[in-house]
Amino acid sequence: MIVYGDLSCPFCYALEDRLFMRNLVRHVEWRLVEHAPDLPLEPERATKAQLDELAQELETIARRAPDVVIGRPEFRPNSALAIKAVAEATTIDPRGARTLRLLLFRALWREGKNIADPSVVAEQVEHAGLPPLRGTTEATATAARWTHEWRQARFERIPVMISATGTKMLGLLPPRRLDLFLGSGLFSSSSDDACDVADVRQRH
């Protein structure tokens, strides 16, 4: 299955956490997208609207996904640097790239670390057992392609999971519906629990 999602989206983190708990991460190809490129690099630059949106989404997850362990980061950071790191790692060591993605998700959504900070990304790269990354043009192109694919498909939300049969899961489904989708991949399904791109554009 293919998943389009962003490291800065708590619903995408919740999906990653559920896939990890089901030991299915290796069976899923994540294509990380930058769904909100105007997110800040530092907490002091976060707007009230961005902080309010984050608080609302975290409340939704706490209420509808109590199985997911999630913290409350100070702000939602820009994900471009972290996405490029995962893209580059994919060309070096796909297994290490999966570990890096999980570590970056957890660094933000469990530990409250700023994944827009190069030192934080480098720390997770080291913990994933990967060599220092160079920020290659190939990685930049891969990250841009992932986001372009997602925007061209006009999903207008994340996460999006696509099965081998082409059916789609839009948003974060409740556990039972997720398991049905993972088990069959025959029926498309959707949820309002998602980062909605249309809303992001209106707010900013």
Mean predicted confidence (pLDDT) in 116-132: 98
Q: Where would I find the beta strands (DSSP E) of 83-190?
A: 157-158, 160-162, 168-170, 189-190
pLDDT at 204 > cutoff 70: no
pLDDT at 199 > cutoff 50: no
Q: What confidence score (pLDDT) does residue 186 get?
A: 83
d(CA 191, CA 180): 14
pLDDT digits (tens, 9 = 90+) for 43-97: 999 999 999 999 999 999 999 999 999 999 999 999 999 999 999 999 999 999 9
- Residues facing 78 on adjacent strands: none
Fold of 2-203: Glutaredoxin (3.40.30)
pTM: 0.93
pLDDT at 203 > cutoff 90: no
Domain ranges in the chain are: 2-203
pLDDT digits (tens, 9 = 90+) for 15-46: 999 999 999 999 999 999 999 999 999 999 99
User: Among 103-112, 130-139, 193-202, which stretch is predicted with the lowest mean pLDDT?
Assistant: 193-202
pLDDT at 198 > cutoff 80: no
Average pLDDT over the chain reads: 94
d(CA 48, CA 101): 28
- Tally of CB atoms within 10 A around 130: 18
Listing DSSP states for 73-88 in one string gives: -SS----HHHHHHHHH
